[in-house]
Structure 1
Amino acid sequence: MDTLIVGAGFAGAVTARELAEAGERVLVIDKRPHIGGNAFDRLDADGVLVHQYGPHIFHTNSERVFAYLSRFTGWRPYEHRVLAVPDAATGAAYPLPINRTTLNRLYGLDLDEAGAAAFLERVREPKDPIRTSEDVVLNSVGRALCDAFFRGYTKKQWGLDLSELAGGVAARIPTRTNDDDRYFTDRFQAMPDQGYTKLFERLLDHPNIQVRTGIAYQQIVATADCRRTVFTGPIDEYFGHRYGALPYRSLRFEHAHLPGVAQHQPVGTVNYPNDHAYTRITEFKHLTGQQHAGTSIVREIPCAMGPGSDPYYPIPNPANEALFKRYEALAETESDVVFIGRLAQYRYYNMDQVVAAALATSRQLIHSGEAVAA
């Protein structure tokens, strides 16, 4: 093999396909028993297509990324909507991101767009400079809305207060003064029409690609006869945690099937910021459009990393970024290893960002003359 790719998620699979089409012989390994990384989906025991590792909603503004993936899948148009239940005792649900409807329902008002903008301007707490996620939220919506929708959710999700997280985390969620209740506003919003796993099967279906699942990098590194490695796993793990472990947040998933229930909730995801151990419930039939007499849901319970747990979210704060920089400096000394992806680059990437990064990296390798000529 010319290149060993560690990890069969988006970063690894896209890079594998690009190098294979350039004439390289590629071996893709993954320690899990399946391809697709965290985007892996499957039919559950009752025949409902579910996302094993929580909901993965595809959205992008990149025509290039959407066109590339369209080579390997058809699409089902889907615009994700989220409700939040700040008080489970009442069960009242409000659109998230916060919009005009949220304000009117929550406070019993009848604001138009200008009124919603004026309301938010009155309640916001201006912050300058903005350093933390707390600064971002208070600057945008003020303390009452922050405590109702964001502070408790963040504490569960990250194990940290908003004041302890970098500003970029909260900045991912906008605030609106109109009635737009879509969670994302990207130009392209759709789901793979046959699921993510089928997409990955087609991505990796090339005569120059060999795939081996259920095998960890440590099991093969000593015997792998490859002149280059593309590593998409945790960068600190690659270096044997030389400077200590990079902090990640993990998740536990409680999957459940509800027989005879056509619809469990009115939208794809409902957040519970202040009650329960779980942060949200997702109902998959909203995402997939599947017709079934019953429905399947998943509850997500954030947790600290422990034995057997998987790293899902790099925890963005200055101390962790400084530790990552030490590992990044080590990575730059590895002449025959390329690090790419959320875990390898310690970045809170969306799926489309990972695809874009993989395309850019693989094409750099090809055009630099490192790839074998076809």
Structure 2
Amino acid sequence: MFDYLIVGCGFSGAVSARLLAEEGKKVLVVDKRNHIGGNSYDYYDKKGILVHKYGPHIFHTNSKKVWEFLSRFTKWYLYQHKVLSYVDGKLVPMPINVDTVNELYGTNYTSDTIIDFFDKVRNKNIEVNNAKDMVITKVGEELYKKFFEGYTKKQWGIMPEELEKEVTARIPIRTNRDDRYFTNVYQGLPLYGYTNMFENMLEHENIHIMLNSDYRFIKNEISYKNLIYTGCADEFFDYKFGKLPYRSINFEFETLNEECYQRVGTINYPNDYDFTRITEFKHLTGQKSLSTTIVREYSSAEGEPYYPVPRKENEKLYLKYKKESEALENVYFLGRLGQYRYMNMDVVVDEAIKLVDRIKEKN
């Protein structure tokens, strides 16, 4: 008899498993994949380059609580991510900052005068109802088309005006020359990789792990008191209200016999090619090698679910499943898929910590 059956061995499952195990609870974690770590799983390829199987994962947070919790299981490579965007045949900083504008238009704006430029180009007179409106009110129609329209269409498979405004609300516009993609207090990657961090987190006498195990086929074979589910909410309920839409990604890895492929960790391609971006892993990990590995990302409607699609009708459908889940005894839904929310890793960790705190209070 296990106190908790946890479905999924990504951040949600692993964090809640560790915290419950430390409370003396017997925990079984099951995952249908053949590895731990969920979408954060990384491994060394044939050339010894540490790569992220499911695309680049850069950890960043303002939460000291979250950072200190994870720091129990890893040391950090203190990396600050930089992104360029390939626009009009030029590689320019992303998010848009003073240098982006100057390089595109051959201007000489400074941090003091760039506000005049944005005031001139942005549309202040529209009501913000969707992702397109959100960008236009910040940078205007032209920069929206150069940086956001094509990228968003590729990533989500629909036009920005069909997406909720929150999709682009999180993209900053800089009035200085700061070219870091994130400005959080804590930024970095686990020094020896995410997989190593997960191994340390799950190393506890009260935690048992079953890989290559689909919850649906084993749930009646295992005795447990409580369930934490981090898979797709609609799948749990056999799609009784219909399927929730997710976006997937196809990854194309390439190892090259050259020391460096591109200037920064990631380059976005909003208007050219079928892929959305190229990431070179050595920038992220700080490894030194005469070879390098890159990954191109192609968004897709089919395949492994990665992102909930933020639209009003999808949220409405999800709320039906949420109501259904709240009627269940001792069953908890966690994570991007379980909560149908587009969350960064730190928020996922925080949600898991909060859930275990609520369970402790309840008991």
Structure 2 length normalisation: TM-score? 0.99
Distance in 1, matches of 2:111 and 2:75, equals 37
Aligned length: 362
Q: How far apart in 1 are the matches of 2:286 and 2:129?
A: 41
Measure the CA separation in 2 of the matches of 1:167 and 1:98: 18
AA aligned to 1:223 is: E
Q: Which of these residues, 133, 145, 151, is aligned with residue 153 of structure 1?
A: 151
The corresponding residue for 1:366 is 360
Asked whether 1:303 is paired with 2:300, we answer yes
Q: Residues of 2 paired with 1:45 and 1:177: CA distance? A: 43
SS of 1:255's equivalent in the other structure is strand
Choose from 245, 248, 251 the match for 2:249.
251
Q: Secondary structure at the match of 1:210?
A: strand
Structure 1 CA distance, aligned partners of 2:112 and 2:119? 11
Structure-2 separation of matches of 1:33 and 1:322: 34
Q: Residue 286 of structure 1 aligns with which residue? A: 283
Equivalence for 1:338? 332
- SS at 2:109 equivalent: coil
Q: How does 1:196-211 map to 2 (within 5 A)?
A: 196-211=194-209
Q: Structure 1 runs of 4+ off > 4 angstroms?
A: none
Q: What's the Cα RMSD here?
A: 0.8
Residue 35 of structure 1 aligns with an amino acid whose one-letter code is: I
- Matched residues in 2 for 1:200 and 1:366: separation? 23
Contact 1:18 1:363 (8 Å CA) reproduced = no
Residue 251 of structure 2 aligns to a residue in which SS?
Answer: strand
Partner-residue secondary structure (3-state), 2:250: strand
Question: Hey, what does 1:372 align to over in structure 2?
Answer: none
1:317 aligns with 2:314: no
Quick one: which of 98, 116, 119 aligns to 1:118? 116
CA distance in structure 1 between the aligned counterparts of 2:137 and 2:353, rounded to whole angstroms? 36
* Corresponding position of 2:177: 179
**For 1:1-374, what aligned pairs fall within 5 Å after superposition?**
1-87=2-88, 90=89, 92-259=90-257, 261-305=258-302, 309-369=303-363
293-302 or 217-226, larger mean C-alpha shift? 217-226
| Offset at residue 46 of structure 1 (A) | 1.4
Distance of 1:188 and 1:213 partners within structure 2: 32
Q: 1:318, 1:359 → 2: CA distance?
A: 28
Q: CA deviation at 1:223?
A: 1.2
**Contact 1:127–1:138 at 8 Å: present in 2 too?**
no
Q: How much does 1:127 deviate?
A: 4.7
The amino acid that maps onto 2:263 is P
Unaligned 5+ residue runs, structure 1?
A: 370-374
Q: Deviations over 1:177-229 (max 9, x none)?
A: 11000000000011100000000001100000001111111111111200110
SS of alignment partner, residue 118 of structure 2: helix
Q: CA deviation at 1:296?
A: 0.3
Q: Report deviation, 1:16.
A: 0.2
Residues of 2 paired with 1:284 and 1:358: CA distance? 28
SS at match of 1:93: strand
Q: Could you state the TM-score of these two structures normalised by the residue count of structure 1?
A: 0.96
Q: Would you say the 8 A contact 1:127–1:135 is kept in 2? A: no
Distance in 2 of aligned mates of 1:127 and 1:179: 28
SS at match of 1:55: coil
Q: Secondary structure at the match of 2:336?
A: coil
Give the Cα–Cα distance (whole angstroms) in 2 for the partners of residues 276 and 93 of structure 1: 15
Percent identity between matched residues is: 49
For residues 303 and 163 of structure 1, the distance between their equivalents in structure 2, rounded to whole angstroms, comes to 19
TM-superposed CA distance for 1:143, in Å, is 0.5
Determine the C-alpha separation between the residues in 2 that align with 1:216 and 1:203. 22
- The gaps in structure 2 that reach 5 residues or longer are none
| Residue type at the aligned position of 2:264 | V
Q: Which amino acid in 2 is paired with 1:66?
A: W
1:368 CA drift (Å): 1.7
